[in-house]
Copies of this chain bind each other. A is one copy, B any other.
């Protein structure tokens, strides 16, 4: 069992000031969470609930955590990736009334899981996950808690994928909202968020440019689409690798080259994996890559690039820059791995995670899903649930209102027309 971060930091006051300053900046650019905070403070919907969270603990997540606490919940939080925690934010969060934070950067595996158990020890009635670590740990090791859990919400593609597999096996014992699958989440977080922040993180970690580069994007799901689109928008030449024929065709029709990795490996200058799968770039690919290539991962887990095989191939390895590990091959070629193959937009030294506004949208959906569990939890059986349309629309409307974007509404005649089918050509 671990202790809250505040008991472990040396310069606690300084850390809290620094973390609070980051949170203040975030909330300035999170109008959806700002509007929901006002609503939650007034209504206290979470009064009496205990919320367990395992997410990337940095400024934006902290804002979500804080507004849940502001709505009356007791919140316990830890990280969902050992390298993505900002200790100062974790400390500032731990100082918030109603919040306990166990997250600490750079912990080892044992400490990582101890922190998850510390959160579970709060006996949460609601879980909020980014990668389903809480759901998995509760089902495996603390099944006795499930009876008192109203439900959960899951942030990522990978988490939802794993939850569905669990659900299909009949092993998911409480309802979980697939926040990842809403338009609000997928389009903005995955496409714009992952796309922009991955590229900016790579550029600022390496001081390299995109113009004229051949960028190999593995996976053409929402994250891959975002990375490909934004890289192309910086004048890179994009090659896509895929395993699903319709996605491969979609990428081809978008104007990208589609190739097997076995061919793309020799052509790429930068490789960005977004598949959520393992062994996307492996030994046979390393062997044909050019000198100086960059290898980065934008998928949830660090299994897409086979670093073990790369280590075995290398005759030397060293840190070329902060966040860049160079593997030198016997023939002199240097292959540069960013952020140890972990999420490149979260795990490089200067990385800040997804952009603030994008997370505002995701977390807006998270927040209304938690509210929905409290208000209507009985309506949902155990299993994975799509976020109800009305919640998703509510968040979109809050955002448009905050951005000052006005749009049309259907007239009665139009609404009627859309519902009818008797009219002719």
* A contact residues vs B (CB 8 Å cutoff): 21-22, 24-26, 28-29, 59-60, 80-82, 112, 131-133, 136, 161-163, 165-166, 183-184, 187-188, 192-193, 196-197, 199-201, 203-204, 206-212, 230, 232-237, 241-246, 248-250, 252-261, 263, 276-279, 292, 301, 303, 320-321, 324, 334, 350, 352-358, 392-393, 396-397, 399-400, 403, 405-411, 413-414, 417-425
Q: With A183-B246, A253-B187 known to touch, is A22 a contact of B407 (CB < 8 Å)?
A: no
- Chosen A-B contacts, 14 in total, with CB atoms closer than 8 Å, are A192-B211, A196-B203, A203-B355, A232-B233, A237-B255, A249-B396, A249-B400, A252-B400, A261-B408, A276-B418, A278-B414, A279-B414, A301-B423, A350-B350
A208 and B357: CB pair below 8 A? yes
- Choose among B230, B257, B421 the residue that contacts A162 (Cβ–Cβ < 8 A): B421
Q: With A21-B321, A183-B250, A409-B243 known to touch, is A236 a contact of B255 (CB < 8 Å)?
A: yes
Q: With A204-B204, A253-B211, A352-B207 known to touch, is A245 a contact of B421 (CB < 8 Å)?
A: no
Q: Chain B residue with minimal CB distance to A168?
A: B419
CA distance A81 to B424 in the complex (A): 11
Contact residues in B for A419 (Cβ distance below 8 Å): 165
Most buried by B among A212, A400, A411, A418: A212
Number of copies: 4
Contact residues in B for A59 (Cβ distance below 8 Å): 207
Contact residues in B for A237 (Cβ distance below 8 Å): 255-257
Q: Chain B residue with minimal CB distance to A420?
A: B165
CA distance A158 to B63 in the complex (A): 43
B254 and A208: CB pair below 8 A? no
Contact residues in B for A254 (Cβ distance below 8 Å): 211-212, 235
CA distance A261 to B408 in the complex (A): 7
Q: How far is the CB of A230 from chain B (nearest CB, A)?
A: 6
A407 and B245: CB pair below 8 A? yes
Q: With A243-B409, A256-B237 known to touch, is A356 a contact of B209 (CB < 8 Å)?
A: yes
